[in-house]
Amino acid sequence: MTTLKRGRYNARLADAPDDLTAAQRLRHLCFHGTDGVDADRFDDICAHVLIEDAKTGQLVCCFRFLPLKDGAEIDRSYSAQYYELSRLRTFRGPMVELGRFCIHPHFRDADILRVAWGAMTAYVDENGVELLFGCSSFKGTEADQYLDAFTVLRDRHIAPKRWLPRVKAPRVFRFAQLLRRKPDAKLAMLRMPPLLRTYLLMGGWVSDHAVVDDQMNTLHVFTGLEISAIPPARKKLLRAVAG
């Protein structure tokens, strides 16, 4: 992925140790609310995307990609620690896991997410990716504040059975089985993480349960997006940003 410049922001691949450290510091701030470094063993095998303020150079968003040649490599992914993904082993075609996505808490500009998706689109197109997947996180580990969002996921966005992840993590919230309520659609969208909301608008799907991740202080759902399922009009918009 070459450098992407759009308006106030630039997106580029990390190309030096200091770039990775900056991303790890932003991740720690976003996920834990304190100064520190969020690092794990997957950092060394991933490509890292940085989105910076073009004028100041400040890092405002980051995420990482783990490319896989096909579903046979799914067990190499970060997500495989938490979800039983054997059904996806039969997926034929290049895959990319998107992980550790975060936006600096002091920046509320919607263009940051737009540029991030432009960078993702450029990477997907350049590498012939057919499935984008990862863990979409809700902040905190208490499900009560997200019940409307989880109900919408249950009603509209559960993965096709042929790809549906099974339970692997020791602590999960089985929202597809437990929830019996009519959701407030407006509140559901407000509670939905912005990245997940965009996945869903493009035809993405999720697991039928959320993992309770105490280490990262999140609830997360496995999320998949088959590139062929993205509506043509939305692909055109994404490629306009990526181009």
Number of domains in the chain: 1
Three-class secondary structure of residue 238 per DSSP: helix
For every one of its 243 residues, what pLDDT tens digit does the chain have, with 9 covering 90 and above?
Answer: 568 887 899 999 999 999 999 999 999 999 999 999 999 999 999 999 999 999 999 999 999 999 999 999 999 999 999 999 999 999 999 999 999 999 999 998 999 999 999 999 999 999 999 999 999 999 999 999 999 999 999 999 999 999 999 999 999 999 998 767 788 889 999 999 999 999 999 999 999 999 999 999 999 999 999 999 999 998 898 888 877
Are the C-beta atoms of 121 and 2 separated by less than 8 Å? no
What CATH number is given to the structural domain containing 133? 3.40.630.30
Cα-Cα-Cα-Cα dihedral sign, residues 84, 87, 93, 98: negative
d(CA 85, CA 117): 25
Q: Which domain holds residue 111?
A: 4-242
Question: In sequence order, what are the residues at sequence separation of 6 or more whose Cβ sits closer than 8 angstroms to the Cβ of residue 42?
Answer: 64, 66, 78, 99
Residues in the chain: 243
Are the C-beta atoms of 195 and 167 separated by less than 8 Å? no
